[in-house]
């Protein structure tokens, strides 16, 4: 349940040295121009020799209402890009083979996703897979003779042999499912023998990417207990030994284990786990070698990690993740020694990779600078900007972005991100709009946020609060939301509002609140709990009823974050009701726009209907805009734009009254 407008990118580091026009001389931030020209950058990876970077850009195509992807190779020394053109459709997951001799990618072939292999740099197509259900992920073996890949099983047979009877047994999946959930399993493509072999089977499923051991003898992955999407908490790291065709678990207990990565030398491995077994808490990075007990190499670092990458020769990792409203970057040795890098807490990073020589490339952003690619020659050097895909927005009048902190009622420190109008003056009074993140285990950061800039361009101050349950301030702060999904986080948000009001430049008669997913939940909670505060509200995909979350959605067995027990056990229902917006829906007085996807499997649309009818019954101005189809948020450009246009339009209508 995440805020979906983040266009992930890497931001200019040392642009202060560049001479820019004064803000008053720059054109205003233009939302339509942003939607037309903004480029997101993803899939960053080094070439095997470390001299080039491979990456993919994505940009909206308004004529076809699709996202156009382009693939590039960047020469680091020359700082020049070469575009890679493909004859196939739907190209993704482009990568080099281990030696760089081949270029491989997934693309659509006769209705299924297959693996294609070309020579590089000649670009001659030499092999195409032919898996009957299509391929989802793949990894080259170290010697380039094999490819391990994942593919979903065919749909399961119906319960009845009668062709007109489509009945299926319901399990712990979402109420909109039309059949049993097929599993995903491991397969091997031997390129020399041109032979495809299935390696695993069963009712369980693989829920991670793949990793090869350095000797090419083993493949590792995460096994999820069943194919039902709701079984997120029950995962184990598994090893498949190719020489014996045996599958074994890395550890004895069924744990909270994810995303294993073999070391580049030897058979050591690092993976995510939660040693305290608390699904509401943060993950640790565990190092495992042979028969020894796994070592928590991040015990001294109370942070949430987005990802990690092995250093040369497997001597440790570079890890990055949330630290306040920016991202920390750390070098961590295998015995748990932590060194913070000089460019830590300078960016919000969406992608970071390390090559065999320890060089770093990353995609990152800052609050009022656009996303680009940066290169770090050594940990002592300043990052160098290599790309210029979003220069247009650097030359617009953007609002100042800063972090603020405040104390909570449970003696913790919360924080948030404030975006000011470009012409902000402390002598004036401005409307305040809350733009609340989802999750709840997520966080708002000082990254370039086009919606916040658009709102600030309207003359509003924008607050993106990080309430308890957010993943940017350590384990205790994240776990503090357990069984307190409404009152506690709501107090945190209100304390942030008061922090800004006390500064004297907020028009207290014009405060709006908005958010999507858990941000929609918190919006609904605040509307009923503090009914006289708000001038206007927007609630997107609001999960107002926890019983819907634990009964109707794909997350129904995922007891984590705020929900750590079932409402259907003992007297838990009363607790769930008390911490949900349902308790106070009848008290809402604020004009509210509701938006949701009709077939949302993460937050069922039933919550939106409950909020809508509560507002109707009490004669509160409201609109409910529903978008057909599945997904938690519209995935195509035009419907995404429509959501945000309606969002800002509704706020503007009431804040201008």
Helix (H) or strand (E) holding 188, with range, is strand 184-190
* pLDDT (0 to 100) of residue 281: 74
Q: Would you kindly state where each structural domain of the chain is located, as residue ranges?
A: 399-655
Residue 180 is classified by DSSP as P
Coil, strand or helix at 400: coil
Distance CA 534, CA 511 (A): 5
Q: Is the domain covering 399-655 a CATH 3.30.390.50 domain?
A: no
Coil, strand or helix at 149: strand
- What residue has token string 């190779």? 73
Single out the residue of 632, 652, 629, 628 nearest to residue 514, CA to CA: 652
Q: Is the Cβ–Cβ distance between 11 and 351 less than 8 Å? A: no
* pLDDT (0 to 100) of residue 13: 25
* pLDDT (0 to 100) of residue 26: 80
Q: Mean pLDDT of residues grouped by 10 in the chain (657 residues)?
A: 33 27 69 91 96 97 95 96 95 96 96 96 94 95 97 81 83 82 94 93 93 96 86 84 94 77 89 77 84 84 92 91 95 93 94 94 89 93 93 87 95 96 95 96 94 96 97 92 93 97 97 97 98 98 91 77 83 89 97 97 95 98 97 95 97 96
Single out the residue of 353, 374, 379, 349 nearest to residue 364, CA to CA: 349
Coil, strand or helix at 359: coil
Q: Is the Cβ–Cβ distance between 650 and 593 less than 8 Å? A: yes
Q: Is the Cβ–Cβ distance between 344 and 323 less than 8 Å? A: yes
pTM over 0.75: yes
* pLDDT (0 to 100) of residue 24: 55
Could you tell me how far CA 532 lies from the centroid of its own chain?
Answer: 34
Distance CA 3, CA 521 (A): 12
Distance CA 249, CA 84 (A): 40
Single out the residue of 219, 221, 210, 291 nearest to residue 252, CA to CA: 291
How many Cβ atoms are within 10 Å of 574's Cβ, its own excluded? 10
């Amino acid at each position: 349940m995440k805020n979906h407008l983040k266009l992930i990118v890497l931001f200019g580091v040392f642009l202060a040295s560049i001479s820019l026009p004064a803000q008053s001389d720059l054109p205003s931030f233009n939302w339509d121009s942003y939607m037309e020209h903004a480029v997101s950058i993803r899939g960053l990876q080094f070439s095997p020799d470390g001299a080039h970077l491979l990456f993919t850009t994505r940009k909206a195509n308004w004529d076809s209402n699709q996202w156009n992807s382009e693939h590039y190779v960047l020469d680091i020394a020359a700082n020049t890009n070469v575009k890679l053109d493909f004859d196939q459709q739907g190209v993704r997951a482009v990568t080099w083979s281990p030696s760089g001799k081949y270029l491989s990618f997934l693309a659509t072939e006769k209705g299924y996703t297959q693996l294609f292999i070309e020579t590089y740099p000649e670009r001659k197509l030499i092999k195409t897979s032919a898996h009957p259900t299509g391929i989802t992920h793949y990894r080259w073996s170290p010697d380039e003779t094999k490819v391990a890949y994942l593919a979903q099983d065919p749909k399961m047979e119906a319960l009845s042999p009668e062709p007109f009877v489509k009945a299926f047994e319901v399990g712990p999946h979402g109420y909109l499912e039309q059949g049993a959930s097929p599993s995903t399993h491991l397969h091997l493509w031997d390129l020399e023998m041109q032979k495809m072999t299935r390696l695993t089977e069963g009712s369980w499923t693989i829920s991670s990417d793949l990793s090869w051991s350095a000797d090419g003898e083993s493949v590792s992955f995460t096994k999820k207990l069943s194919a039902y999407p709701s079984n997120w908490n029950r995962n184990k790291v598994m090893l498949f030994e190719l020489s014996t065709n045996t599958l074994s678990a890395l550890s004895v207990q069924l744990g909270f284990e994810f995303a294993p990565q073999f070391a580049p030398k030897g058979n050591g491995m690092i993976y995510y786990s939660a040693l305290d077994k608390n699904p509401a808490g943060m993950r640790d990075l565990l190092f495992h070698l042979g028969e020894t007990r796994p070592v928590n190499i991040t015990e001294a670092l109370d942070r949430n990690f987005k990802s990690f990458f092995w250093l040369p020769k497997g001597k440790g990792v570079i890890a990055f993740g949330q630290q306040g409203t920016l991202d920390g970057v750390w070098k961590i040795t295998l015995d748990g020694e932590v060194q913070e890098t000089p460019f830590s807490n300078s960016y919000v990073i969406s992608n970071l990779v390390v090559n065999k020589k320890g060089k770093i490339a990353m995609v990152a952003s800052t609050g009022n600078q656009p996303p680009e690619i940066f290169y770090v020659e050594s940990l002592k050097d300043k990052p160098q900007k290599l790309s210029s895909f979003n220069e247009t927005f650097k030359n617009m009048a953007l609002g100042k972005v800063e972090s603020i902190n405040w104390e909570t009622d449970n003696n913790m420190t919360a924080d948030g991100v404030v975006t000011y109008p470009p012409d902000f003056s402390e002598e004036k009074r401005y409307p305040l709009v809350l733009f609340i993140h989802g999750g709840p285990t997520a966080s708002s950061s000082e990254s370039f946020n086009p919606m916040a800039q658009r709102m600030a361009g309207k003359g509003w101050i924008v607050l993106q609060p990080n309430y308890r349950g957010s993943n940017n301030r350590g384990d205790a702060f994240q776990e503090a939301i357990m069984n307190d999904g409404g009152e506690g986080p709501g107090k945190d948000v209100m304390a942030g509002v008061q922090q800004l009001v006390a500064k004297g430049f907020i028009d207290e008669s014009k405060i709006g609140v908005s958010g999507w997913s858990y941000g929609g939940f918190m919006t609904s909670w605040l509307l009923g709990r503090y009914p006289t505060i708000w001038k206007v509200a927007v609630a997107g995909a609001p999960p107002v009823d926890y019983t819907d979350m634990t009964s109707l959605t794909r997350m129904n067995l995922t007891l984590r974050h705020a929900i750590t027990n079932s409402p259907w056990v003992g007297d838990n229902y009363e607790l769930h009701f008390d911490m949900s917006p349902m308790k106070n829906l009848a008290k809402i007085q604020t004009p509210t726009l509701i938006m949701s996807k009709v077939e949302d499997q993460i937050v069922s649309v039933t919550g939106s209907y409950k909020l809508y009818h509560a507002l109707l019954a009490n004669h509160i101005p409201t609109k409910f805009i529903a978008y057909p189809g599945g997904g938690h948020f519209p995935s195509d450009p035009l419907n995404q734009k429509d959501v945000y246009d309606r969002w800002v339009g509704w706020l503007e209508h009431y804040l201008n009254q």
